[in-house]
Structure formats: C-alpha cells, structure tokens
C-alpha cells in the first residue's frame, strides 16, 4: 500500500459537473430511525469521469461536513472505491488553517483510497479533497464510484455514503448496516507497535480499526480487517468504525515490553490574533510552533475552546478571562508542555 502525507493548500472552488450527491435525509423517518448524533458528519461526491475523446483524466471532489450540534472530534475516516477500469493516484486535501493531520493511502491496484483526518471541526464546517481519476485509452468505464465517511463519535449512520453512477442515473441513498466484531486473531504484541492483526466480524467494509483510540493502518473487507498496530502500552480496547457505526471487539490488545518513546516536547513561537482580544473570550487565535499534534491549549490555565492542532499549527477560540492583562499560553501534548508565551487580554 502506498502511503503519502497529503499537501494542504488554500481552499479552492472546483469546476465540476455534479452527477449525484450523497445520501439525503428522507422526508419521513422510519419508526426505528437512529437519534440524531451531536457529533455528525456527512459526505458528498461530485465530478466528471475520464474522457476518451480527447483522452484525459476525470476529476472528483469528496467533501465532508460537520452536520451535528457539537464539535466533531477524533479521527474522521474517508474511503473512495472505483469500479474496474478506473484508477487514482491519490487525493489532495484543501483546507486552511493547517490545524489538522491528514494522511491518505492508495491500494496497489489504484482503485481504493483511504484517508484519515485528525482535528476538531465546528458544526457546519465543510472540507474536501480532490482526486484525479484515470481510465483506459479507448473504453468508457461503467459502474459507480462510492465515497464513505465515518467517525467514532457519530452514532447517526445516515449521510455516510455517497455514490456517483457513471451512466448518469441517480442511485437511492445508502445506509450501511451496523458492524459486528467477533474477535482478533492476535491479542498481544510489543509496545513499539507493528503487530499484524486480523479483526473478524460482519459489515466491516469501509472500516477503520482503532487500537487504544489510535487508527491502525490497514484495510477492511466486509468480514475482516487486516491492520498493523500502532505503538501503545497496557491493555488497549479495539474497535472498528464504519459508516454504519462502531463495534467494540470482545477482547483488548495487550501491549508488552517498553512503550514507544514519547513524542518531542511541543514548542510555541507565536500566538496570532486580531488586534483586540477582549476578556469576554470568543476571539479566534492561531498558534504557530512545532510538535503540536493532539495538543490542548490553555490561556492562563483555562482551556481554550474548539481547539484543533496539527504538527505546526493550532486554531483555538479564547476562553473568558478574569480580567484584562497578560496570561501564559501553553500547548500540552503527550510529549510535554511548551514554554509559556504571553498573551494579553484587553478590557
């Protein structure tokens, strides 16, 4: 499997032709419809297929929206599957600021793409990734392109599957059945990670395996996920997150030996805000530094709001302060706490 760290760029409009959109809410919900999830994300898919006259690649945009009432947190998993005759060489993620970690991988045959976004997204936030799609020189491909999205905190399975049919027809909205996990073929491995594990069950397609809450690289079929454990320590719960929901494994994965080394200590070089930052809070602030991934931010010991941190950048909303004046701003990660940087509240 080919893995790349996607380059981030400025958000840009795409010149695409919409063939179909993702699952839409029906006008009448069934009696057994799930309760709306406070953290909810939906996916959309649009674009145009490769052309044979003149020959050229197609282009598709996979977008996702935080549709719930609370910040979307934790890893958000996306997949794209192409029919026979079509391939892709990866996706480009378009979003600023760079307060996230985004990784993506493409299967050796070029027909399956997986991506994971780690960051906090406020309700209504929309983002997308753009991908080129290639076909054969003479034959127009048939079938459908499917995109999915899933997040472990999202308990509403609607809107998680988007389909584009290459013949122009409009498919019915899809809701994937809830997953079930039967067990793991391996339940122990070194703390450094790297243990191959097969998770068996049902309805696991388009899934992401979490070990101790951390995504494990690999792929899932409908009946099994084959992954490699990340580093960890102690007894770590295992779960599979799919567009249909999240299922916990009946057994944990037990790490043995020394855990992996802690990440480097975060450093903060600058806190940037508009000219005024009132004591009432609510000002959008940006923190620039290094080793900030998974960070939490405090202002004078008070946690910031809507915090999202990538490797070199955090976005955060200032909390209320007791009064005007300077406070210390620090970022804390598993690697430690940064040296304080002064931030001034105004009356």
Beta carbons within 8 Å of 76's beta carbon, 6+ residues apart: 41, 64, 116, 117, 118, 121, 149, 150, 151
Beta carbons within 8 Å of 293's beta carbon, 6+ residues apart: 101, 118, 263, 309, 310, 311, 333
Greatest C-alpha distance within the chain: 70
Task: Give CA–CA dist 262/70, Å, rounded.
Answer: 31
DSSP class per residue in 136-171: -SSPPP-SEEEEEEE-TT----TT-EEEEETTS--P
pLDDT of residue 215: 98
**24-36 core/surface letters (b: 16 or more CB in 10 A; e: else):** eeeeeeeeeeeee
Task: Give CA–CA dist 89/189, Å, rounded.
Answer: 33
DSSP class per residue in 174-200: --PPPPEEEEES--EEETT---EEEEE
How many other C-beta atoms lie within 10 A of the C-beta of residue 236?
17
Q: HSE, CB side, 13 Å, CA atoms: give it for residue 113.
A: 30
pLDDT of residue 169: 81
Task: Give CA–CA dist 241/235, Å, rounded.
Answer: 19
261 vs 34, which has greater pLDDT? 261
- The β-bridge partners of 148 are 79, 161
**316-346 core/surface letters (b: 16 or more CB in 10 A; e: else):** bebbebeeeeebebbbbbebeebeebebebe
Least confident interval from 144-153, 178-187, 276-285: 276-285
Domains defined for the chain, CATH in brackets: 2-23+35-165 (2.60.40.1510), 180-256 (2.60.40.10), 267-345 (2.60.40.10)
pLDDT in tens, 293-319: 999 999 999 999 999 999 999 999 999
pTM for the predicted model, two decimal places: 0.88
Instruction: Give one word for 168, left, alpha or beta, with left for phi > 0 and alpha for psi -120 to 50.
Output: left
Average pLDDT (244-254) is: 98
Task: Give CA–CA dist 272/324, Å, rounded.
Answer: 17
Task: Give CA–CA dist 224/198, Å, rounded.
Answer: 7
Task: Tell me the backbone φ, ψ of residue 163, rounded to 5 degrees.
Answer: -130, 135
pLDDT of residue 137: 67
Mean pLDDT of the chain: 88
227 vs 135, which has greater pLDDT? 227
- The answer to whether 192 and 72 are in contact (CB under 8 A) is no
pLDDT in tens, 72-118: 999 999 999 999 999 999 999 988 889 999 999 999 999 999 999 99
pLDDT in tens, 156-202: 999 999 999 988 787 888 999 999 999 999 999 999 999 999 999 99
Q: Does pLDDT of 40 surpass 60?
A: yes
How many other C-beta atoms lie within 10 A of the C-beta of residue 62?
27
């Amino acid at each position: 499997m080919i893995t790349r760290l996607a380059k981030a760029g400025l958000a840009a409009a795409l010149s695409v032709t919409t063939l179909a959109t993702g699952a839409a809410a029906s006008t009448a919900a069934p009696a057994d419809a799930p309760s709306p999830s406070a953290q909810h994300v939906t996916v959309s898919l649009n674009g145009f297929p490769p052309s044979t006259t003149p020959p050229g690649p197609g282009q598709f945009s996979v977008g996702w929206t935080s549709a719930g009432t609370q910040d979307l947190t934790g890893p958000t998993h996306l997949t794209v599957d192409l029919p026979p005759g079509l391939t892709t060489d990866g996706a480009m993620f378009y979003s600023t600021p760079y307060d996230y970690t985004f990784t993506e991988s493409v299967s050796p045959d070029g027909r399956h793409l997986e991506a994971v976004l780690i960051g906090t997204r406020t309700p209504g936030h929309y983002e997308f990734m753009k991908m080129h799609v290639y076909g054969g020189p003479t034959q127009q491909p048939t079938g459908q392109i499917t995109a999915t999205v899933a997040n472990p905190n999202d308990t509403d399975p609607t809107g998680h599957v988007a389909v584009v049919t290459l013949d122009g027809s409009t498919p019915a909205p899809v809701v994937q059945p809830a997953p079930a996990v039967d067990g793991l073929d391996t339940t122990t491995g070194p703390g450094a990670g790297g243990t191959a594990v097969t998770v068996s069950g049902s309805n696991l397609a388009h899934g992401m395996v979490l070990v101790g809450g951390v995504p494990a690289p690999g792929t899932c079929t409908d009946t099994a996920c084959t992954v490699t454990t990340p580093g960890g320590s102690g007894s770590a719960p295992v779960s599979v997150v799919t567009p249909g929901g999240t299922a916990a494994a009946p057994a944990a994965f037990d790490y043995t030996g020394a855990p992996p080394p802690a990440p480097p200590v975060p450093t903060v070089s600058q806190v940037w805000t508009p000219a005024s930052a009132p004591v009432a809070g609510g000002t959008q602030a940006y923190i620039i530094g290094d080793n900030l991934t998974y960070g939490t931010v405090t202002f004078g010991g008070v946690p910031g709001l809507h915090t999202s941190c990538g490797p070199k950048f955090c976005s955060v909303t200032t909390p209320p302060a007791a009064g005007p004046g300077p406070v210390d701003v620090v970022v804390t990660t598993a690697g430690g706490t940064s040296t304080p940087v002064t931030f001034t509240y105004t009356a």
